[in-house]
Chains A and B, each alone.
Chain A
Amino acid sequence: MQITTSPTPAVPSRPASGLLSFWRSFSRSRTGLIGFWMLVIAIFVAVFAPLLAPYERGASTSVQIDDIYQPPSSAHWFGTDDAGQDVLTNFIYGARVSLTVGFFAAFISIVIGGVFGLVAGFFGGRWENFLMRFTDIMLVIPDLPLTVVIVALTKPSLWNIIFVIGILGWTTTARVVRSQTLAVKSRKFVLRARAIGASKFHILVQHILPLVLPILVVQAVLAISLAILNESTLSFIGLGDPSAPSWGQMLNFAFGRGAMSVGAWWALVVPGFGIVWVVLSLTLLGQGLEQVLNPRLDTHHLMAGRPVVQKEAGAKPIQSDVLLEVQNLSIHYVGEGKAPARAVENISFTLREGELIGLVGESGCGKTTLMLALLKLLPSAGQIANGKVFYNGNDLTVMDEEEINKIRWSNISIVFQGAMNALNPVRTVGEQIGEAILKHEPSFPKDKLNARVSELLELVGIASDHREHFPHQYSGGMRQRAMIAMALACNPKVIIADEPTTALDVMIQAQILELLDTLRKKLGLAVIFVTHDLGVVAELCDKVLVMYGGVTAEYAEVDVIYNEPKHPYTQELLKAFPDLTKPKKKLSSIPGYPPRLDNLPAGCRFAPRCPAAFERCHTDEPALHAPQKDHIVGCHLAEASK
């Protein structure tokens, strides 16, 4: 249920070249870019070592006492080491060794891990069992001690080290590749490929591999950094290859040959710095790549919201029996460096006790945004740009968190769509309902709490012993009913139901609709019912607000909407909606797609798809007209018919 503006394309745009678009998304991550350039510098130093190094490696043939551990000077920028050698030269050549070990060892690990993971994930069965068990064992065994043991028992040559690090480093990769393979294998397009008759090999190469490769690349980056760390540790312990002085070797010599006691900090700091530079560059690069592959939104529900634009409280509504009055509400989504997306513009409606208003619209029309705004639950990018929301005469838009927390749930509660994750999976349902009660009535007697929760559950048709169960033990229909029970816990006056039955079977939907209707009659509950289902609205609602592209298309009593619709969108929608009483009716559709909220057309938002559009529709946004009492239409045509 991520609140995003709907990602609908207008006409398919220019083709996106693979590499270019990758670089574009990659460069959005600062960490990734920094890491990339750091790595480029390191590789540059390694490749051009002979050109960059001030001295030749192993230049001095005899060791003069005076040359040992000389501090940095103009002759030796980083001083000299325990053998009188120039530290800078060794440092530059050390890059070669470290990077060579890193790349080759990682290569071995990635190949082994990749093959194991792919085979295990794709073929399953005994292969998977054996490979994964083996991987698990090797994962548990601590790798550095094992590496140390093996290298200690074999020759400490560079290629040996590369080989050992490589064949011990595949475990994490194997696990990750296997998970990814399994995940891709279960996707619908793989099933479709099977349905077409594609062979296993074809599926593996065409479908699985392209989606596993990116993961492998990220793993490779990680493997290189780990290999470099491993090699430097081995060298430091004394298991390195003395003929290939890596940074770890330099540190081994320095530490073991008295750099500390002499105070030769340059011999200790410089090689280590090299290791940190390369490993950090790889880590940052890995982070950047991760960001491209699994873009995380980096926003969450507890981030501070944006301040409301209009700070003063507005004029209070006149009628006294009006529970909720929304006046000219506009909501924008503010993005970095872009014009704000005008998600909702100028919406008004009223709600009285016991009234049920249906909010109708399709994907991207802004109905969920509107509902969230009423209780100030918008994500951090959302902002109430204009308008008021009056509840019982109080303006909710100017309240701060503390004030509105008192209104939330106890007066206005909300049932979200797709209750799959709307309940906390690690707490019992009963606890979560009880929590709502205790929040708003802290003095509620604890011993009566369980009874009250059971009462609420039974009200929605759930046996009270389910109180102690966790959400995953409930079926989809039960979860939705539990959400309704929770929404009723504090006896609110208004319930906002956001597509509460969309994902449910039609019989369960009927049960829930009946429940809502009963509650409305028994408790005088007012309900805002958000849906795209015109049938449900006709069955249940007193009033209807039809939204399109974030604005009001039409707002009237239910009978008027269905039998005298004036807005072309309403008319077309009714034509597109199947009617069981007229089974042979040919369904029509509305060509085109809803507008992108950050790229709205000039004029009426529905004009591109409207069969009755004329010139003015494409230039002027229509005002809200009232062709008859209590009937609002946002269309130029309605103006004429007044």
Chain B
Amino acid sequence: MMNTSTEKFLEIRGLKKYFEAGRPSLFSRDTKHVHAVDGVSLTLRRSEVIALVGESGCGKSTLGLLLMGLEDPTEGTVIFEEQDITHLNDHQRKDLRRKIQMVFQDPYESLNPTQTIEEIVTEPLIVHGMGASQQEREERVKKAMEDAGLKPAEVYLSRYPHELSGGQRQRVVIAAALVLEPEIIIADEPVSMLDVSIRAEVINLLAELRISRQIAVIFITHDLGSVGFFADRVAVMYLGRIVEIGTMLEVLEKPQHPYTKALLSVIPVPNPRLRHERIILQGETPNPINIPTGCRFHPRCPVAIDACKLSDPAMTQLSKSHQAACLLVTNK
């Protein structure tokens, strides 16, 4: 279906990001760390769509920021088009910033209220010095806006963000990303602040763009249900790690990790005739400062065994594309 060459487009190996948590107290030297991302490995192919799914605190947003170079990794490597881009300074990163773009969650805050739509979508071109003349820039802007579904572009150019609806604003953000002709778009919860009836607009737009412009999409969300028709693969994250990854159908229909199973069971289904047994985990996700020993999920896992307290399971290959990090899966 998709153009999936075997060339490794984007590869992440053992990526970690620790934040310092407060200052060391008078009595202890150790600084506590927030293990926001704690060892993530992932590959992405050209124009592939991969969904990063998880609850708050699982590190998915931080992972997005790391890939964008807006945060520096503590450990690990990121390789893009065969080039190590892990530790680049702002100047070296500039060209990358053209190729990897980000769409944020809040359409109301992503746009500067004092800029017109035209200024917003033209800005990236100016920053990168793209477009030889004003006319050429205007054309690029128009094309990007229309590709983002803002047709006819002229109507929107001189408006201000507050005059547009949430869905339209999100399209402006996408247009501003498209104008640089990116190769990867990282969308961090792009629709969670929009009304249900217009979420599909934006998701469908991203799906179209993936085909028409060959853009890979990393779709970060907490809403597993919305990734269904759009994602090629799904990665489920918990406390900074990927606990299960596979094709969309594999993960959604044959989940192997207990966390994935629990998550899928509690997502409400809009069909009253399908009220089913739910695996409700008790308590809350632990603080990423104190990662549990052994398997990080064991304190809440409904099927944990003694061994789970001791060993941190590695990813077990279940099929060509499907992996899960669970002792019970390994032992099968």
A binds B: yes
- What is A's interface to B at a CB cutoff of 8 Å? 7-9, 11-13, 15-16, 187-189, 191-199, 202, 206-207, 210-211, 362-363, 475, 477-478, 505-511, 513-514, 532-539, 558-559, 562-563, 572-574, 576-591, 593-594
* Cβ contacts A to B, 6 pairs, < 8 Å: A9-B163, A189-B112, A506-B222, A514-B280, A534-B196, A579-B270
A362 to B193, CA, bound (A): 12
Given contacts A505-B56, A589-B199, contact A583 B249 (CB under 8 A): yes
B101 CB–A CB distance under 8 Å: yes
A514 to B277, CA, bound (A): 11
Closest Cβ neighbor of A211 among chain B residues: B114
Given contacts A196-B97, A507-B262, A507-B281, contact A534 B109 (CB under 8 A): no
B267 CB–A CB distance under 8 Å: yes
A49 to B110, CA, bound (A): 51
Whether the pair B199, A189 counts as a contact (CB closer than 8 A) is no
Task: Give chain B nearest CB distance to A363 CB in angstroms.
Answer: 6
Task: Give chain B nearest CB distance to A97 CB in angstroms.
Answer: 37
A residues in contact with B111, CB < 8 Å: 189
Closest Cβ neighbor of B226 among chain A residues: A578
Whether the pair A589, B269 counts as a contact (CB closer than 8 A) is no
Whether the pair B267, A195 counts as a contact (CB closer than 8 A) is no
B156 CB–A CB distance under 8 Å: yes
A506 to B267, CA, bound (A): 7
A254 to B50, CA, bound (A): 82
A residues in contact with B304, CB < 8 Å: none
A198 to B281, CA, bound (A): 44
Whether the pair A362, B262 counts as a contact (CB closer than 8 A) is no
Whether the pair A195, B97 counts as a contact (CB closer than 8 A) is yes
A-B pairs with lowest CB-CB distance, top 9: A535-B268, A583-B228, A197-B97, A578-B225, A587-B200, A510-B266, A589-B200, A188-B109, A505-B55
Whether the pair A505, B222 counts as a contact (CB closer than 8 A) is yes
B residues in contact with A12, CB < 8 Å: 155-156, 159, 163-164, 168
B residues in contact with A15, CB < 8 Å: 158-159
Whether the pair A362, B70 counts as a contact (CB closer than 8 A) is no
A594 to B198, CA, bound (A): 11
Whether the pair B268, A539 counts as a contact (CB closer than 8 A) is yes
11 further contact pairs, Cβ within 8 A, besides A195-B70, A362-B196, A580-B264: A189-B109, A202-B127, A210-B114, A533-B196, A539-B269, A539-B272, A562-B273, A580-B224, A580-B269, A582-B228, A587-B226
Given contacts A196-B123, A207-B112, A584-B228, contact A506 B102 (CB under 8 A): no
Closest Cβ neighbor of A188 among chain B residues: B109
Whether the pair B68, A589 counts as a contact (CB closer than 8 A) is no
B residues in contact with A576, CB < 8 Å: 196-197, 199-200
Closest Cβ neighbor of A582 among chain B residues: B228
Closest Cβ neighbor of B150 among chain A residues: A12
Whether the pair A578, B223 counts as a contact (CB closer than 8 A) is yes
Whether the pair B228, A589 counts as a contact (CB closer than 8 A) is no
Q: How many interface residues does B have (CB within 8 Å)? A: 77
Task: Give chain B nearest CB distance to A371 CB in angstroms.
Answer: 19
A residues in contact with B269, CB < 8 Å: 535, 538-539, 579-581
Given contacts A189-B109, A191-B104, A573-B197, contact A538 B263 (CB under 8 A): no
B124 CB–A CB distance under 8 Å: yes
Whether the pair B252, A583 counts as a contact (CB closer than 8 A) is yes
Binary interface encoding of chain B residues 234-274 relative to chain A, with 1 for a CB under 8 A from any of its CBs, else 0:
00000000000000110011000000001110111111111
A residues in contact with B68, CB < 8 Å: 195
B93 CB–A CB distance under 8 Å: yes
B128 CB–A CB distance under 8 Å: yes
Whether the pair B197, A362 counts as a contact (CB closer than 8 A) is yes
Which B184-223 residues have a C-beta within 8 angstroms of A? 195-201, 203-204, 222-223
B residues in contact with A513, CB < 8 Å: 268
User: For B110, B162, B267, B274, which residue has the most chain A Cβ atoms within 10 angstroms?
Assistant: B267
Task: Give chain B nearest CB distance to A366 CB in angstroms.
Answer: 14
Whether the pair A532, B228 counts as a contact (CB closer than 8 A) is no
Task: Give chain B nearest CB distance to A545 CB in angstroms.
Answer: 15
Task: Give chain B nearest CB distance to A587 CB in angstroms.
Answer: 4
Task: Give chain B nearest CB distance to A513 CB in angstroms.
Answer: 8
Closest Cβ neighbor of B56 among chain A residues: A505
Report which of B167, B270, B274, B278 forms a contact with A510, defined as CB distance below 8 A: B278
Which B78-132 residues have a C-beta within 8 angstroms of A? 90, 93-94, 97-98, 101-102, 104, 106, 109-115, 123-124, 127-128
Closest Cβ neighbor of A21 among chain B residues: B160
Whether the pair B110, A189 counts as a contact (CB closer than 8 A) is yes
A510 to B269, CA, bound (A): 12
A residues in contact with B128, CB < 8 Å: 196-197
Closest Cβ neighbor of A363 among chain B residues: B195
A residues in contact with B274, CB < 8 Å: 538, 581
Report which of A11, A196, A510, A514 forms a contact with B124, defined as CB distance below 8 A: A196
Report which of A9, A509, A580, A589 forms a contact with B201, defined as CB distance below 8 A: A589
A420 to B111, CA, bound (A): 25
Whether the pair B229, A590 counts as a contact (CB closer than 8 A) is no
Task: Give chain B nearest CB distance to A80 CB in angstroms.
Answer: 54
B residues in contact with A207, CB < 8 Å: 112
A192 to B282, CA, bound (A): 37
Report which of B101, B162, B197 forms a contact with A195, defined as CB distance below 8 A: B101
B40 CB–A CB distance under 8 Å: no
B284 CB–A CB distance under 8 Å: yes
Whether the pair A587, B197 counts as a contact (CB closer than 8 A) is no
A residues in contact with B101, CB < 8 Å: 195-196
Closest Cβ neighbor of B94 among chain A residues: A197
B275 CB–A CB distance under 8 Å: yes
Which B147-196 residues have a C-beta within 8 angstroms of A? 155-156, 158-160, 162-165, 167-168, 173, 176, 180, 195-196
Task: Give chain A nearest CB distance to B56 CB in angstroms.
Answer: 5
Report which of A191, A562, A579, A582 forms a contact with B272, defined as CB distance below 8 A: A562
